[in-house]
Amino acid sequence: MSLNSKVAIITGSSSGIGAEIAVKLASMGATVVVTGRQSDRIQEVVNKCQTLLSKTADEHRSQVVAYGVSCDLTDDKDVDRLIGSVVDKFHRIDILVNNAGVGSRSQFLSDGNEYFSQYDQLMDMNLRSVQRITRLVIPYLIETRGQIVNISSIRSRLAAPKNFAYSMSKAAIDAFTLALAKQLAPLGVRVNIVSPTTTRTPLWKTVYGTDQLVDSMAATMKYTCPLGRIGEPIDVAEAVAYLVSTNSLTKTLITGQTVPVDGGVLCSGVRHNYSVK
């Protein structure tokens, strides 16, 4: 699967799932745009991607494997700067992976105004920012007949009483993706969803202040997940890679679809007591 000459923007790619997606797409020949808020973490991922250049003998490969841009996706001017920078440097955009997102632990029935404060912040990041960057990138994707992959969560389809806002934001992303896929299909742009189960990422520690919860979930999922394990970032990256690779005519017919990376949770009806991916 080759992505030579393709330029891919992966939001929230300075750690976790996004970083793994960036490395995977870079390994397939793409030039990846690594984004996040922390410049040191961005550079770590850029360096990791750039080392792939020495491992390939492909003379057609771009010498720029990764390009790092710090960006606050909730700041419209910052997003304008990000897209302007990418277009100025590469003159094209082929792939957009909307991965960046945040979680919340505020409770709907018990946390009063704190719930709505976190709700506003979460929707700004998980939903509004996705629409904003997508709208800016679409004209370039039309030119390249490119594609969009939105990272959702199985929590968009499974009730999560402990995390109303997160589940609602991901359900909204699903609806947005389906509508956008229908609108862009006549223009040759494909739009799909990758929907992970509980995945071992830094988001857990950010939201809960500890890795103990995700470690507990990993132990529980040995017995409750049909495939017997917690998700890892590489699982999600492989699904994204499948969707965006273009070596098969069959895959160019895939749009408006959801790929669950869930170990069989959805099809089994398993209910886990957790609240973020």
**Mind telling me the catalytic residues?**
166
Q: Where are the alpha helices (DSSP H) in the chain?
A: 16-27, 39-50, 76-90, 112-123, 129-144, 164-184, 203-208, 212-224, 233-244, 265-268
**DSSP-assigned beta bridge partners for residue 190:** 147
**CA max distance for the chain:** 60
CB 86 within 8 A of CB 71: no
Contacts of 63 (CB under 8 A, 6+ apart): 53
Annotate 123-148 with DSSP letters as a single string: HIIIIIHHHHHHHHHHHHHHHHT-EE
